[in-house]
Structure 1
Amino acid sequence: MRSTTVRLWRWRRNPLRRRSDVVEAWVTAVALLLVLIFAPFAGFVAGHALDSSAAHQRTEVHRVTAVLQQNAPVLAGTASQAGSSHVQVPVRWKAYDGAVHTGTTLVPQGLKAGTPVVVWADHAARLVPPPPSAAQGLALAVTGGIGAAAGVCLLVMMACSLIRTELDHLRMGEWDREWADKGPRWSHGRT
């Protein structure tokens, strides 16, 4: 047996078409339009905002050469563990205005006092984590943009699904009322 699909049946005049079918067709069309317009727009806006934020972070901090104030200890049993080869050590550095500042930063284990290390400081001469590189900023922007676009798609799909579920409940109610009206006449006389 071969089945044929009638496309766009909800838009055509048909005696079996219900108002809920037309509403569902419009909801689907609007959902598709929202996804096609707002998902790319949200992705672009989010990506641009994240890229601008990363670029701003790069302008707000600067590299400074600091000097270790004490030997960096070597912790027993951690030299071979990934991510544990750094320890907090006090450092001292001179800011652009000539003022001397101190703070603590992560350095590799075993460095000797007086060893110069590169740290990042903000305009208030506070030590901060390094800013994201241009490549990291781009990766963050792309990931955030894709996430924002996917979020818009998910929200639209959820809203469309909720509306369609409610329309299905309405259709079932209509079916029950019609069956209660017409069913007894059809089954009259049958045993």
Structure 2
Amino acid sequence: MLKINVRGENIEVTEAIRDYVIKKLDRMNKYFDDNTESTAHVNLKVYPNSKTKVEVTIPLPYLVLRAEEMNDDMYAGIDLVIDKLERQVRKYKTKINRKSRERGIKDFQVMVDEVEDEEQDRDNELKVVRTKHVSLKPMDVEEAILQMNMLEHDFFIFEDSETNGISIVYKRNDGKFALIETGD
């Protein structure tokens, strides 16, 4: 059974919001055995621009389900996050069930309906439709961000002139930039 922990940042979590979250997350119980004990951590945020952010994390043995959504409407954001979580479970259920059987874990029920359709969808999702080759030019992080912005991409791969390693800069959902460095 799924326990639900709802907390808010810059928002008071009213009974109506809490009840709505609990009602929506109860849909997730169909994916778990009755003896499964897990806690869904729900974090609701409101930003100064009136945008809301809904984050749900469900830690399980050997797996963490996580989804987040920004929306103008808190209730719509909650609906979208639950839909994302359900898609995650359906997408990875075959893989999860296989690993669970190998390790003797029985957290997920095997749902047999639509397995063929989902496997076909998964095969289509994993197909590489284009390959790009890039030559990496040594540059610093600031130059890489400028290049990324000029190309209007969300990420950029480059050779870091300071570390001589391959690095990646990317634009985060909050509009800031992040750096991934490779190393030994």
Alignment TM class, shorter chain as reference: under 0.3
Structure with a larger share of its residues in strand: 2
Structure with a larger share of its residues in helix: 1
Greater relative contact order, per chain length (Cα 8 Å cut-off, separation 6+): 1
Greater Rg, structure 1 or structure 2?
1
TM-score norm. by structure 1 comes to: 0.20
